């Protein structure tokens, strides 16, 4: 029976049972995609990082949600490297092979920083009524700010639809129709919808965000690193803050699902970097299933 060490590590927080929990399998060598998918489904985190040997970097990673593989995941990267640093297996700098290329990882005063892929931001022509209906929002909360902050898709490795909202009340009142959100994300070719407002809870936070990705099996993600990087690139593209981004921004997220956390974002130039702390919440082992051809039922 094949068993592997498996952890749940909370990212973008220093407090256990807050932030965004990621599964981490620190030794996934020899596991195939079906086995990784089964383990990710069993762990039940929004994403699980499977660490593997690499010829091109210090290590390779594959990310799985409970239902599918994804190319990049910020919080699982922060979680896995926070664990490695805590275990004494990571120096101040490292490289990571992902499906979007090799990324740099840095550790600064306990914070894990990851570079992301080259940013791409494109404005989209979507009806505000339709977006508002999908998100369960008052259209006025989107249109009020839309003249200065338009709807757009943004990616630094994983694409999101960026939806600015005028005030925190509008963000807190969101009541998404997950089927409609899934249809919207599939139509514009993104992983999820990130709604945000500059009206944040903490005085030190740049903005407050919520991210919905039902088509990827995640109705609402507590704290999203890849989306934060994409939004940092978006703010640069639309010349927010009179065109001069702060050297470092703080994005808060997760409060409305009782998993608060913060992402630090550096987006003045490419590559965008996101950073955060991580803390191990659960450390154990998982049995890896053995599949034979007869065990797999084709749909």
List, as one string, the DSSP characters of 43-68.
H--S-EEEEE--SSSSEEEEEE-SS-
Catalytic residue among 47, 97, 237, 252: 47
**Percent above pLDDT 90 for the chain:** 90
- Extract the tokens encoding 206: 């740049």
Residue 242: predicted pLDDT: 84
Q: Find out whether 159 and 132 touch, Cβ atoms under 8 Å.
A: no
Residue 295: predicted pLDDT: 55
Say yes or no to pLDDT of 1 above 90.
Answer: no
Residue 91: predicted pLDDT: 82
Which has more confidence, 116 or 299?
A: 116
Q: Find out whether 154 and 163 touch, Cβ atoms under 8 Å.
A: no
Q: From residue 232, give the alpha-carbon distance in Å to each of 103, 142, 260.
A: 17, 19, 19
CA-CA-CA-CA torsion for 82, 86, 90, 92, nearest 10 degrees? Answer: 80
- Extract the tokens encoding 248: 């470092």
C-alpha 243/C-alpha 232 separation (Å) is 12
Say yes or no to pLDDT of 299 above 90.
Answer: no
Residue 25: pLDDT band (50, 70, 90) is very high
- Extract the tokens encoding 15: 């407090």
182: which strand partners?
none
Please provide the average confidence, as pLDDT, over all residues in the chain.
94
Q: Cα 98 to chain center, whole Å?
A: 14
Per DSSP bridges, beta strands 3-11 and 59-64 are unpaired
C-alpha 211/C-alpha 201 separation (Å) is 17
- Whether 47 is catalytic is yes
**Residues 202-228: what's their mean pLDDT?**
95
Question: What pTM, to 2 d.p., does this model score?
Answer: 0.90
**Residues 29-40: what's their mean pLDDT?**
97
Say yes or no to pLDDT of 243 above 90.
Answer: no
Burial of 55 (0-12, 13-18, 19+ CB in 10 A): exposed
In the block, which residue shows the tokens 């609402």? Answer: 220
Residue 244: pLDDT band (50, 70, 90) is confident
Residue 71: pLDDT band (50, 70, 90) is very high
**Residues 250-262: what's their mean pLDDT?**
97
pLDDT tens column, 81-124: 999 999 999 888 999 999 999 999 999 999 999 999 899 999 99
Say yes or no to pLDDT of 147 above 90.
Answer: no
CA-CA-CA-CA torsion for 104, 49, 69, 34, nearest 10 degrees? Answer: 140
Residue 14: predicted pLDDT: 94
Which has more confidence, 101 or 147?
A: 101
Residue 293: predicted pLDDT: 56
Residue 43: pLDDT band (50, 70, 90) is very high
Say yes or no to pLDDT of 294 above 60.
Answer: no
**Packed helices 128-135 and 178-188: angle between N→C axes, nearest 10 degrees:** 140
Residue 216: pLDDT band (50, 70, 90) is confident
Say yes or no to pLDDT of 297 above 70.
Answer: no
CA-CA-CA-CA torsion for 219, 222, 113, 42, nearest 10 degrees? Answer: -60
Radius of gyration over every alpha carbon of the chain, rounded to an integer in angstroms = 19
Residue 146: predicted pLDDT: 87
**Residues 186-198: what's their mean pLDDT?**
97
């Amino acid at each position: 029976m094949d068993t592997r060490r498996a952890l749940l590590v909370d990212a973008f927080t220093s407090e256990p049972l807050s932030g965004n929990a990621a599964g981490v399998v620190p030794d996934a060598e020899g596991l195939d995609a079906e086995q990784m998918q089964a383990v990710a489904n069993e762990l039940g985190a929004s994403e699980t990082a499977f660490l593997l040997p690499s010829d091109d970097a210090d290590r390779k990673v594959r990310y799985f949600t409970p239902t599918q593989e994804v190319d990049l995941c910020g919080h699982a990267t922060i979680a896995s490297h926070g664990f490695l640093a805590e275990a004494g297996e990571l120096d101040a700098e490292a490289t990571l092979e992902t499906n979007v290329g090799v990324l740099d990882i840095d550790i600064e005063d306990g914070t894990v920083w990851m570079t992301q892929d080259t940013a791409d931001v494109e404005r989209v022509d979507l009806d505000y009524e339709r977006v508002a209906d999908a998100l369960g929002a008052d259209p006025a909360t989107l249109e009020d700010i839309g003249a200065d902050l338009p709807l757009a898709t943004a990616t630094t490795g994983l694409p999101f639809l960026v939806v600015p909202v005028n005030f925190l009340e509008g963000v807190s009142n969101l009541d998404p129709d997950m089927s409609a959100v899934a249809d919207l994300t599939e139509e514009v070719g993104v992983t999820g919808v990130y709604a945000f407002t500059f009206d944040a809870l903490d005085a030190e936070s740049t903005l407050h965000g919520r991210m919905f990705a039902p088509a990827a099996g995640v109705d609402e993600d507590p704290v999203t690193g890849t989306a934060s990087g994409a939004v940092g690139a978006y703010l640069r593209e639309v010349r927010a803050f009179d065109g001069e981004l702060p050297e470092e921004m703080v994005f808060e997220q997760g409060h409305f699902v009782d998993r608060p956390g913060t992402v630090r974002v550096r987006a003045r130039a490419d590559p965008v970097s996101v950073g955060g702390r991580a803390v191990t919440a659960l450390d154990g082992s998982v049995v890896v299933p053995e599949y034979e051809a007869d065990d797999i039922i084709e749909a």
